Amino acid sequence: MEWYVPITIMPAIGLIIMSTTNFIVALNAEIFELEKDITQHDVVINGKIKQLKRLGTANALLYMSALCFMFAALFQASYDNEIIFQCIMITATVLVTIAFIFLFLHSVNAIQIRGRHLKK
């Protein structure tokens, strides 16, 4: 595989990181608003804080995967060792997959939390 292939994946990861960061900012604002009446929204706030942790973890995994893709490209361009290149690529792919699982869980739980919030 050519050295530039992992670099071509970086813009997609960047878009996902930007989207996840936008979710984090919006969630922070929602939590801030709900904390004004913490006694009424205690359960919803706790759910949103868990969402915030999931999003933060997903973002960290995406950053780590971007770093791995970059290292894979640099390593392949410098040393041309296919085995190490493939190991780094697999690691990066696993990290992205785990991040997607966290984002999926965030999406599913967001529906439940929104439902609890609207019932009050």
Structural contact between residues 62 and 20, judged by C-beta atoms closer than 8 angstroms: yes
Which pLDDT value is given to residue 81?
86
What does the pLDDT read at residue 112? 86
pTM for the full predicted model:
0.87
10-residue mean pLDDT series, the chain (120 residues) = 86 95 94 84 88 96 96 90 93 97 93 78
Distances (CA, A) of 101 to 2, 86, 89, 91, 113: 28, 22, 18, 15, 18
pLDDT of res. 113: 84
Q: Where are the domains of the chain?
A: 5-119
Can you give the pLDDT at residue 120?
Answer: 60
